[in-house]
Amino acid sequence: MRLHPPRIGAGPAATRAPGGTAGPAIAIRDVTKTYADGRSATKALEGLTLDVAPGEFVCILGASGCGKSTLLNLIAGIYRTSAGTIDVAGRRIALMFQEPALFPWLTVQHNVEMGMRFRRSVTKERRREEARRLLRLMHLEEWASRRPHELSGGMRQRVALARALAQEAEILLMDEPFGSLDAITRDLLHEEIERIWLENRLTIVFVTHNVREAVRLGDRVVLLSSRPGRLATQFPVGLGRPRRLEDAALGGIAAEISARLHEEVRRHGR
């Protein structure tokens, strides 16, 4: 059983063209998401419209309460929109969380295989081969028969990345995946994810609260305002690749975005 495309909340049913056709990989149209818990209702997102092109690396940036995680869950089809539509044209979607969320009862190898476990078309042999290939890609082949608890935080997050890649999704959603890692590990994982993205022409939506990280990785940085989350501004990042976190030009763009982010936070101060 494969991951469902997102359910459409309001509006006409989306056309499910096969992936790879012209047009955006993700078309977000006027999306509003309201959480209601009986007594009160919280608006997490309001009137958000955003296109992500196939093969694009988009970083979503915003202060707390801007609905970043909500947006990813909506795109992944875990939540329904309250209004508006999200169309991914039937593309397969993988989602990576801030925590590795590995299954503690499985070995590293079998955790990666879980990425393919629920697709009937994948044979057992291919599942095994593919998982092994992905672990090699992540420099984790010698750890294949270990359990998650024997690995460090960075290694676990790489296993989670391998598992997400095993889904062979065209769209990879990442929810602050490197937020809890130390600087060196994060640096290395930035290089990894950039390389994998270049090689596989994935469409990536990467949520973070780290401005430099967003500029380091994204083709475009989307800034969301807070409470409710709306599109504040977008910054195209016209830097060549591979990039380095220490690049001066990168720092310049990051400073500009930071200033805008601070402005956004000040709006909520008294």
Partner 1 sequence: MAAESDILSTEISGLDSLEARRVEPRRPVRAAWTATWPKLAAVAVVVGVWQSVAWLRIRPSYVLPDPATVLGALGELFSEPDFLQALGVTVQRGAAGFGVAIVIGTLLGIAVSRSSILRRTFGSLITGLQSMPSIAWFPFAILIFKLSEGAIMFVVVLGAAPAIANGLITGVDHIPPLLLRAGRVLGARGLSAYRHVILPAAFPEYLAGMKQGWAFAWRSLMAGELLVIIESRPSIGAKLQFARDLSDAPGLLALMIIVLLIGMVVDGLFFGTLERSLRNRRGLNDAR
Max CA distance (Å), the chain: 61
Contacts of 4 (CB under 8 A, 6+ apart): 77
Which residues in this chain contact partner 1 in the complex, by CB under 8 A? Answer: 1-3, 76, 78, 94-95, 97, 99, 101-106, 114-115, 117-119, 139-140, 143, 147-155, 163, 167, 184-185, 188, 191-192, 195, 242
- The nearest distance, CB 154 to partner 1, in angstroms, is 7
- The nearest distance, CB 269 to partner 1, in angstroms, is 33
Task: Evaluate whether 207 touches 67 at the Cβ level (below 8 Å).
Answer: no
- The nearest distance, CB 95 to partner 1, in angstroms, is 5
- The nearest distance, CB 150 to partner 1, in angstroms, is 5
3-class DSSP state of 59:
strand
Of 117 and 268, the one with the shorter C-beta distance to partner 1 is: 117
Of 86 and 94, the one with the shorter C-beta distance to partner 1 is: 94
Of 71 and 257, the one with the shorter C-beta distance to partner 1 is: 71
Of 157 and 225, the one with the shorter C-beta distance to partner 1 is: 157
Burial of 53 (0-12, 13-18, 19+ CB in 10 A): middle
Of 92 and 227, the one with the shorter C-beta distance to partner 1 is: 92
- The nearest distance, CB 188 to partner 1, in angstroms, is 5
Pairwise CA distance, residues 56 & 49, whole Å = 16
- The nearest distance, CB 3 to partner 1, in angstroms, is 5
Helices 108-117 + 124-137 axis angle, to 10: 120
- The nearest distance, CB 195 to partner 1, in angstroms, is 7
Instruction: Tell me the H-state helices in the chain.
Output: 68-76, 108-117, 124-137, 153-166, 183-200, 211-217, 248-266
Of 186 and 230, the one with the shorter C-beta distance to partner 1 is: 186
Q: What's phi and psi for 22, nearest 5 deg?
A: -60, 165
Kindly report the number of other CB atoms within 10 A of residue 181's CB atom. 17
Of 86 and 223, the one with the shorter C-beta distance to partner 1 is: 86
DSSP 8-state assignment for residue 229: B
Of 128 and 227, the one with the shorter C-beta distance to partner 1 is: 128
Pairwise CA distance, residues 10 & 137, whole Å = 41
Burial of 124 (0-12, 13-18, 19+ CB in 10 A): exposed
- The nearest distance, CB 221 to partner 1, in angstroms, is 25
